[in-house]
Chains A and B, each alone.
Chain A
């Protein structure tokens, strides 16, 4: 498990009109904590995740991962992409074991681990299927399984359930809660869905678009283990009202600042 310390982080895309995608962002994530980055599209939440993953370099500031500067992408930070990004030419089992195989882990070691994790995400019977034979939700289960099999210190999830239908999304949220409850891995979860953020996270970080930074952090004290039943509780509604208000304010400020 890992802690993440982001200080004074800025990301500027150069060009004739440079774009400040992130503006002096500060964020601390504790070991085993579940953080949701919530905000409208264009607020830089995916950029922040890409920097954490090591896909994009930062421009200013620093990001410490367990006290060390983050380097290029690697298996210590497992990324779950919105469209799963599975290799279509590999079977489910081959997709899940891709990480261990390129890392040179021996088959006796990864074989059992992969089967166990496939069972955990409910895909034991689909090990030999190709991604094109799976539904969107099942593909995302594979996307999660292939990351878990590497035992990452942190999970970085970029709107992983954003492309799924409402029913499947709820199922996947419950699955993720279950998995996280068991593994207690540090999670940074990007979403634009307020319900999803409150249901899953220990802390919701509301991001504003201009300037692109974290406007407010709201700890979610809902008791764990949680389930979709929590969506109906009065405490949940209170959090939701608070966050909606916050997002409206953050957005409003953005508009004023832009003029």
Chain B
């Protein structure tokens, strides 16, 4: 169990920190050592940050020290809501749910549209000529540039944020899926034809599974962009969520909340990436078997 699977084509960064079915390996000597080595730098940064502060802040009061951030975070998460006069007491979980829900909704839309579109573009010449150029034309427009458009069309609402997230996630998903479907090994397709597979069989039983590794690459990149998009959208186009709190807290000078918010976003990004990796390990089990030779 402690031995890592040999997979030459798999990037090193693709191994989840914690994977299903390898609980034992988390506690193995090598994993503990890895975790220890990985913790040195972040702990050092936090300590230096803490001890270079004076009376709870750095840079003449601009930046709070980690202990102040931690206490603000605690209040934000577990404090009493009271009369609702302090927006940074007991509201953390709500903000988290708002943002996460939007990311999931936008991500779902992008995946449902992006994967079939990518497969079609990669596999059929008609879609490659008919759809791909339009996507390539729109892709250079950054999602931030879509903000005014989105507010004009959807108003100040969740829908605008979901639109931006879906758009941001769509591009990496569709492009990676296209790459996967376009580079299916020719002899695999021929082998399927030779065994009597119909056009649909070839698409469903050969092209789709052969594209899955590339699709997962797209999903991981896409989810990262999804978190970027939700923060940008909530800063401007919606009045709730982690992005809204980030900007709002900055305006009222609550840098402790700003930093706690940033840490929350980072943590959510990490967790969602790990979740995708777990799904990938399950869906692409064949890539993670121990090779015999």
Contact = CB atoms under 8 A, between A and B. Distances in A.
Nearest to B190: A55
Contacts of A134: 292-293
B289 A102 contact: no
Interface in A68-101: 72-75, 77-79, 81, 83, 85-90, 98-99
Contacts of A78: 194
B289 A133 contact: yes
Given A53-B194, A55-B193, A133-B292, A102 B205 contact: yes
A134 B286 CA distance: 12
Interface string A124-140: 00000110111100000
B291 interface: yes
A129 B292 CA distance: 10
Given A89-B212, A102-B197, A79 B289 contact: no
Nearest to B188: A85
Contacts of B289: 130, 132-133
A108 interface: no
Interface string A226-243: 000000000000000000
A183 to B, nearest CB: 18
A213 interface: no
A11 interface: no
Contacts of B290: 133
B42 interface: no
B192 A102 contact: yes
B187 interface: yes
Contact of B193 (A72, A129, A133): A72
Interface in B154-206: 185, 187-188, 190-198, 201, 205-206
B286 A99 contact: no
A106 interface: no
A123 interface: no
Interface residues of B, number: 26
Contacts of A55: 190, 193
A146 interface: yes
A58 B286 CA distance: 38
A97 to B, nearest CB: 10
A102 B192 CA distance: 9
Given A73-B190, A89-B209, A98 B195 contact: yes
A227 B48 CA distance: 76
A88 B187 CA distance: 12
Given A132-B291, A135-B293, A85 B195 contact: no
B7 to A, nearest CB: 9
Nearest to B213: A89
Contact of A83 (B187, B205, B286): B187
Nearest to A149: B195
Contacts of B192: 98, 102
A150 B191 CA distance: 13
Interface in A139-189: 146-147, 150
Interface centre among A85, A90, A135 (most CB of B within 10 A): A85
A103 B195 CA distance: 8
Nearest to A87: B188
Contacts of B196: 74-75, 99, 102-103, 150
Nearest to A78: B194
A77 B209 CA distance: 25
Contact of B191 (A54, A77, A79): A79
Contacts of B284: 89
Interface in B186-234: 187-188, 190-198, 201, 205-206, 209-210, 212
Nearest to B284: A89
A146 B212 contact: no
A89 B206 CA distance: 9
B286 A130 contact: yes
Interface centre among B190, B205, B206 (most CB of A within 10 A): B190
Nearest to A143: B191
A72 B193 CA distance: 8
Given A89-B209, A89-B212, A74 B194 contact: yes
B193 A73 contact: yes
Contacts of A81: 187, 190-191
10 contacts: A53-B194, A79-B191, A85-B190, A86-B191, A87-B205, A90-B286, A99-B196, A102-B195, A102-B196, A130-B289
Interface of B: 185, 187-188, 190-198, 201, 205-206, 209-210, 212, 284, 286-287, 289-293
Given A55-B190, A74-B194, 10 more contacts: A53-B190, A54-B194, A73-B193, A79-B191, A83-B187, A85-B185, A85-B187, A132-B291, A133-B290, A150-B196
